[in-house]
Structure 1
Amino acid sequence: MTSDLHAAVREWLAHDPDPNAAAELAACTDTDLADRFAAPLTFGTAGLRGPLRAGPNGMNLAVVLRATWAVATVLSRRGLGDDHVVVGYDARHRSAEFGRACAEVFAAQGFPVLLMFAPVPTPVVAFTVRHTGAAAGVQITASHNPASDNGYKVYFPGGLQIIPPVDAEIEAAIATAPPADEIPRSPVAVSGAEQIRAYVERAAGVRRATGSVRIALTPMHGVGGEYALDALALAGFADVHVVAAQFAPDPDFPTVAFPNPEEPGATDALLALAADVGADIAVALDPDADRCAIGVPTEAGWRMLSGDETGWLLGDYLLSQGDASTAVVASTVVSSRMLASIAASYGARHVETLTGFKWLARADSDVPGTLVYAYEEAIGHCVDPAAVRDKDGISAAVLACDLVAALRAEGRSVPDALDELARRHGVHTTTAVTRRVQSPSAAAEVMVSLRSEPPTRLAGFSVDVSDLAERTDALVFTGGDDTTSVRMVVRPSGTEPKLKCYLEVRCTGELAAARERAARVQSALADDVRSLV
């Protein structure tokens, strides 16, 4: 261990309020210590997220205390020092401890604090910030990350995720924060029952149709189970079967390799249950219940819908419910183009944003009309923006079940509805190709190469390139002919050493032939992309 690293560890331990930190750091190798003390955990546009471990480059009590002091400081500078803040937490390791510490720092800085009395889904905090007019909200969660992680998510007025320059202001304030053990804390009484009840009632209220369906549900060891059951029951869905082994919150997520409904195998138990009970729809929530994945029965058996497919269905369903002339719907640059076509068919406005709900939630800020729906392909759906300006898995689940009930009343199924959308708007297929790289700098090098020598043909079609460098680090390639179009968006991951390529093919014509052609073109497009990046 170098003298500088040794000094950094000693300085950290001198002010770390966690009595277990010394033993934890003493057991570390020099390599591990160097990683933990290389740099502070980065405060991004959604907040903090990282491994639970001692040291500045981890999620721990000291980091939470200093981050909260910084958020309080920024709020006070913006004239919000007299307004209340909302603090929630999920059921991950140390979430309750971090949530209480966060609330106590806000209280010591003079903020009235609404501290949730129990673990809650992330959208409960987003709703409560908006519903009560709070200055800010913090949710302790790492969403669908592995069990070893935790995080700190920040909302500002309106229940909106923070965006630049607020994130930079908070990160700069963290750098000037006092040592963790010198940050004042004041006791806070728990509350939140009224807000939780209001959230559940609002989520239940997204129903449009009547009738019930049989539902298979898993909260994937997270906090969404009881809340989802309550919302579904209030909405008139009483026939719900849960994956028993995954229903109670468990921070170790013992039955899944990764607690993410998108991961291969993660929904196997759910689909098996759906088949066993003869369900009409299967619903998987991620651990903090802000994302929702849907499974449906088909002639070939049960399958999970992609985030795009669910986005098409819910967007079309919401726009079909009345006059859509003032409606705004939104999807991201890496999501399917079909929602734009659906919106046009109803006379609604579609807005394409950068990736992330921090941008989707603001999609109607500079255009006429009101946001009624937004989604991202990573199974995030905002179905009631007036209440929750963020992705919300529970209200999305209620609306998806409502859609299935409405289709069944018409003698139709979800596959029937997808077929109809394909006839009206063309067959759209989407997939992603991901390349792992050694470091973020390696991904940046690939982007430089693509910018200097972009491909001119993909899947046999001439393509043009649009560089989004002024807005984000991404390239969009498009091409095609009268019946087929191809699209590829390439960008480096914002959280991992990966290069991500999002592919979409659209084909028109007779349905079966268009699907066969789309599958063939998508395969060729994916092959070209793998050789390219």
Structure 2
Amino acid sequence: MADKPDISEISQFDKTKLKKTETQEKNTLPTKEIPKKINMENGLESTGDSRLDQAVTQWLLYDKNPKTAAAVRSMVKDKALSELQRCFGARMEFGTAGLRAAMGPGVSCMNDLTIIQTTQGFCAYLEQCFTDLKQRGVVIGFDARAHPPSGGSSKRFACLAASVLISRGVPVYLFSDITPTPYVPFTVSHLGLCAGIMVTASHNPKQDNGYKVYWANGAQIIPPHDKGIAAAIEQNLEPWPESWDTDGALQSSLLNDPYQDIHREYCQTIQQHCFHRELNKNTKVKIVHTSVHGVGHIFVQAAFKAFDLHPPYAVEEQKDPDPEFPTVKYPNPEEGEGVLTLSFALADKEGATVILANDPDADRLAIAEKQKSGQWRVFSGNELGALLGWWMFQCWKQQKVEGKASIKDVYMLSSTVSSKILRAIAVKEGFHFEETLTGFKWMGNRARELMDQGKTVLFAFEEAIGYMCSHAVLDKDGVSAAAIAGEFVSYLASKNITLSHQLRTVYEEYGYHITKNSYFICHNQDTIKRLFDRLRNYDGENSYPKECGGFAITAVRDLTTGYDSNQPDNKAVLPTSKSSQMITFTFANGGVATMRTSGTEPKIKYYTELCAAPGNSDLNQLKAELDNLVDAIVEHFYQPEKNNLTPRPE
């Protein structure tokens, strides 16, 4: 069994430890090689394209990382034009999700120079927005990702970001070691900072990294901040004099390490959601936890300790951070059983009945439970949303505290592509439910607005296994969710009830909500545009489909164009964005299907749900009907063969 961590064991800040360490227009460069030899200013032979030559020259003038600079020189020398075009064809697009791209050389990749340029733009934008930036400061966290070929790593990028901010006199709270993503928004709110930066690519492939930004309200940024930051980046591409000086920054009096204090405060804060401490101490339930080679292990162990739960069994091969993710093809628990193979083996060995799995930056949580048959059931994000939402409401209902909110001031939130089960619970129980656009940036900002109005936000979730169980973190948080799930499981076990049984009870009381979600992979933007344009001009110009494979369509909402047939003026209520594709179809049989593109991956996703009234418990019939609906959507709307779409890997 894993040892209980002790806060005193967490290392003190050692500055020497760190020392070493929406759409822009694409400027597509021509692919034709011009066999003309022109000497470039830096002594390299011309690529044959003046714009590419200029981009390379500017890069080599600015880049002080010997590995990425050497890689660019090598590409020019080898006349690797397609590689150069990939690296310099278009700058990474800064959006509400920040940046997410492969690590490597060039403006299209995550590297030392693009991190400096991004942080300079972000700093300049913060200077415009906050007169007290130099009093309040910014927090920076990082995960364990690294890319030796380019010399890039999350720690290195975090230090460079700190260097840029400190060079402008901005106090920086730089975590001295890896942290879960939720610790950054927690720190912004807890310390009253102007902003936060988290360097992580979450569950993306190992070669990727990312740069995620939080605003002073503790939530991820939403428009117009993304456009403002993107414009400021373009105006601050040349490195400032001290931006590269990480050594100087790490010795600065402006540098603070929040690690110890924030870890302690976080563990203390989440205890407000612990309601069955005595039961937790005596539970016989055995739980396995995996951090999938990410940052979660020590923090989930500490969260369990804060709830007086027995520490979960840790999957030894996956508990320590490893940027190679050696035991999994995809470091994403959302992909299901493939990521949990080692967890199943450990659970079977130890006699554990429940598995908790975080993604590498510990902001998501997957849960699996052993069934009577001996098989493992991996719950979907929507099923866990139903379970955790029900549990959070039960705990709130049973609270007997002074100043407890009226039920009319209680709210739960979910994204528009997630199950509507919370709406069904809210209607019956009397609290408020709201849906937002996809992504926790919208839920976090809406939660903050509601809290500022004196409302209580009990819970928010998205189907991509993201849960906000504590308003102390206005983002998805897999650490607090793991501890709360541990207590929930212990409570159910004390009554001889399983998670699967409780889920069935929830559905029987509030109505079955059957969901089926998946995606196709598509790297061709023209194909994606053509697919969605066809749906908008299905039976002539500006006409959406009226049926799909025999299933009648009763309503259409298009959050790319702002059209909603359900509204009197045909205008959507939720915010719209032309930079991403998203259409929702409502069917006469009670089915709802949303098709959308991903903001961080080359995927066209679909989310489908069939909602039944309480009492309609013919589950097999409901599942069969939803399967038929999904098949029709795939065949008629996606047309995978015609559009050369790759199905989700099994």
One-letter amino acid of the structure 2 residue matched with residue 84 of structure 1:
G
Q: Supply the distance in 1 between the matched residues of 2:413 and 2:370 (Cα, whole angstroms).
A: 28
Report what 1:237 is aligned to.
Answer: 309
Of 437, 446, 460 in structure 2, the residue corresponding to residue 363 of structure 1 is 446
* 1:18-167 correspondence runs (5 A): 18-28=65-75, 29-79=80-130, 80-82=132-134, 83-93=136-146, 94-167=153-226
Q: Supply the distance in 2 between the matched residues of 1:219 and 1:383 (Cα, whole angstroms).
A: 19
For the structure 1 residues 460 and 433, does the alpha-carbon distance in structure 2 shift closer, same or farther, using more than 3 Å as the test? farther
The answer to whether the aligner puts 1:505 opposite 2:610 as a matched pair is yes
Q: Is the 8 A contact 1:39 1:56 kept in 2?
A: yes
Q: Supply the distance in 2 between the matched residues of 1:104 and 1:223 (Cα, whole angstroms).
A: 24
Deviations 1:201-221 (A, max 9, x none): 323442222323321000000
One-letter amino acid of the structure 2 residue matched with residue 463 of structure 1:
I
TM-score (norm 2): 0.78
Segment drifting more, 439-448 vs 109-118: 439-448
Give 4+ residue runs of structure 1 displaced > 6 Å after superposition: none
For the structure 1 residues 130 and 87, does the alpha-carbon distance in structure 2 shift closer, same or farther, using more than 3 Å as the test? same
DSSP 3-state at the match of 2:323: coil
1:10 positional shift? 2.2
Q: Supply the distance in 2 between the matched residues of 1:200 and 1:418 (Cα, whole angstroms).
A: 28
Q: What residue ranges of structure 2 are gaps of 5+ in the alignment?
A: 1-46, 147-152, 398-405, 539-543, 563-575, 639-650
Report what 2:352 is aligned to.
Answer: 279
Report what 1:187 is aligned to.
Answer: 249
Q: Supply the distance in 2 between the matched residues of 1:7 and 1:477 (Cα, whole angstroms).
A: 47
One-letter amino acid of the structure 2 residue matched with residue 286 of structure 1:
D
1:190 positional shift? 4.9
Segment drifting more, 1-10 vs 389-398: 1-10
DSSP 3-state at the match of 1:318: helix
Q: Is the 8 A contact 1:435 1:499 kept in 2?
A: yes
Q: Supply the distance in 2 between the matched residues of 1:514 and 1:256 (Cα, whole angstroms).
A: 37
Of 409, 413, 428 in structure 1, the residue corresponding to residue 513 of structure 2 is 428
The answer to whether the aligner puts 1:202 opposite 2:202 as a matched pair is no
Report what 2:553 is aligned to.
Answer: 463
1:354 positional shift? 0.4
Q: Supply the distance in 1 between the matched residues of 2:268 and 2:449 (Cα, whole angstroms).
A: 30
Q: Is the 8 A contact 1:338 1:425 kept in 2?
A: yes
Deviations 1:113-144 (A, max 9, x none): 11111111111111011100000111111111
1:44 positional shift? 1.1
Q: Supply the distance in 1 between the matched residues of 2:535 and 2:166 (Cα, whole angstroms).
A: 50
Report what 2:34 is aligned to.
Answer: none
Segment drifting more, 406-415 vs 388-397: 406-415
The answer to whether the aligner puts 1:375 opposite 2:461 as a matched pair is yes
Of 44, 49, 66 in structure 2, the residue corresponding to residue 3 of structure 1 is 49
One-letter amino acid of the structure 2 residue matched with residue 225 of structure 1:
H
Q: Supply the distance in 2 between the matched residues of 1:12 and 1:103 (Cα, whole angstroms).
A: 22
Report what 2:377 is aligned to.
Answer: 303
Q: Is the 8 A contact 2:143 2:179 kept in 1?
A: yes
1:460 positional shift? 4.6
Q: Supply the distance in 2 between the matched residues of 1:329 and 1:509 (Cα, whole angstroms).
A: 20
Give the fraction of aligned pairs with identical amino acids, expressed as a percent. 34
Instruction: Say which one has the larger Rg.
Output: 2
Q: Is the 8 A contact 1:404 1:414 kept in 2?
A: yes
One-letter amino acid of the structure 1 residue matched with residue 604 of structure 2:
L
1:14 positional shift? 1.5
For the structure 1 residues 509 and 330, does the alpha-carbon distance in structure 2 shift closer, same or farther, using more than 3 Å as the test? closer
1:506 positional shift? 2.5
Deviations 1:62-118 (A, max 9, x none): 111111111111111012422211111111111111111111111111111111111
Q: Going by fraction, where is strand more abundant, 1 or 2? A: 1
Report what 1:312 is aligned to.
Answer: 386
DSSP 3-state at the match of 2:270: helix
Deviations 1:413-439 (A, max 9, x none): 111111111111222221124233342
Of 479, 497, 510 in structure 1, the residue corresponding to residue 587 of structure 2 is 479
1:366 positional shift? 5.9
Q: Supply the distance in 2 between the matched residues of 1:204 and 1:214 (Cα, whole angstroms).
A: 21
Q: Supply the distance in 1 between the matched residues of 2:447 and 2:332 (Cα, whole angstroms).
A: 29
CA RMSD of aligned residues (A): 1.9
Segment drifting more, 464-473 vs 170-179: 464-473
Q: Is the 8 A contact 2:554 2:588 kept in 1?
A: no
For the structure 1 residues 151 and 497, does the alpha-carbon distance in structure 2 shift closer, same or farther, using more than 3 Å as the test? closer
Deviations 1:419-472 (A, max 9, x none): 111111222221124233342232122112112223333475422232233224
Q: Supply the distance in 2 between the matched residues of 1:22 and 1:116 (Cα, whole angstroms).
A: 29
Q: Is the 8 A contact 1:428 1:518 kept in 2?
A: no
TM-score (norm 1): 0.95
Of 288, 310, 324 in structure 2, the residue corresponding to residue 216 of structure 1 is 288
1:495 positional shift? 3.0
Deviations 1:296-335 (A, max 9, x none): 1222321211001110111111112226332111111110
Q: Supply the distance in 1 between the matched residues of 2:312 and 2:197 (Cα, whole angstroms).
A: 31
One-letter amino acid of the structure 2 residue matched with residue 522 of structure 1:
L
Q: Is the 8 A contact 2:288 2:343 kept in 1?
A: yes
